[in-house]
Structure 1
Amino acid sequence: MPTFNRILLCYDGTREGQHALKDGACLAQELKAEVHVLSVLNNSAWVQGADIISAIPVDLVTNSARSLLDEGLKKLAARGIWARGHFAVGDPLEEISSFAHDLKVDLIVVGHRHESRLARWWGGRNDGLLLDRVSCSVLVTMGPETAEETPGAGETARSVEEL
């Protein structure tokens, strides 16, 4: 198994991002790796919904996104992990691959959201392209299945509370 000395955790505050942060933190602790956390404010929303979003002050959105990054860093610190935070505005695929290259990371950890092909196409997402843009390993965390994702399951969905 390759040694992962420098890990980039991608965190956006979503359930999937929380799983990526948690799983990446466990791995980083085990390997005693240097940890970087990246939060990307996706600017495609600004292009697609310019009329609606233009009514929202840019500073408010940026500050909110930066607070998500701070939240992730605090969760890691609570586990005794010191991590360096990075914030970017742009296309997440471009920003993740750019930061991975610049930081010379050995591993990128991202969360995965189960969606249909139609939903991915409609949303304009090409998640698979990340693998084509980086030269390091990528760990895609799935997180536990919820009752909503498993038809007929009798258990209720649990949210990720803390790391």
Structure 2
Amino acid sequence: MELFSRILLCYDGSREGRRALRLGADLAQRLGAETHLLAVLDNAYWIRGYDAAVMEATLVEEQSAREILREGVEKLETRGVNATGHFATGSPIDQIARMADRIRADLIVVGHKRCGLLARWWAGQGHGLLLDKVSCSVLVAVDTGEGPPHE
């Protein structure tokens, strides 16, 4: 068995996501790994209401998330990496863990933006929880915010 033969890249189109995509693509190419790309539409804030305005916003957000996924797959192809795209709706941490289990990933690659403790608490970010939900390695691509975004 090769080290990291099946990689799950998580992509949201953000600066941090682009860095994770680039690093994950480089790693997948070097290892010749089977590559999967996951885009997750986080529905936590709109799941409570179902009026017409919320439904319309939901459709727009879903179209945007699917476009981000398509864009990510295309970027991988231009780097010589053939990837299978996956789209999910729900908590990103839960969906990443489910997909990693489903495809039996050896490695998950995610992006991370540094922020203060108060900002992390306020936003409800629980990146550490991902580590408790998966049984494979996780590579966290940290964007320092210096220089141009990585494509």
Alignment TM-score, normalising by the size of structure 1: 0.85
Partner residue in 2 for 1:159: 149
Matched pairs, number: 150
Q: Which runs of 4+ in 1 moved over 6 A?
A: 48-51
1:9-158 equivalent positions in 2, closer than 5 A: 9-47=9-47, 54=54, 56-146=56-146, 157-158=147-148
Larger Rg: 1
| Change in CA separation of 1:48 and 1:117 when aligned onto 2, cut-off 3 Å | farther
Separation in 1 of the partners of 2:141 and 2:88?
A: 22
RMSD across aligned C-alpha pairs, in angstroms? 2.0
Q: Deviations over 1:27-81 (max 9, x none)?
A: 0011000000000000113147888x61744322211110000000000011111
> Identity of counterpart residues, as a percentage?
50
Gaps of 5+ in 2: none
Which structure would you say has the larger RCO, counting Cα contacts within 8 Å and 6 or more residues apart? 2
Separation in 2 of the partners of 1:144 and 1:124?
A: 21
Separation in 1 of the partners of 2:134 and 2:80?
A: 29
Alignment TM-score, normalising by the size of structure 2: 0.91
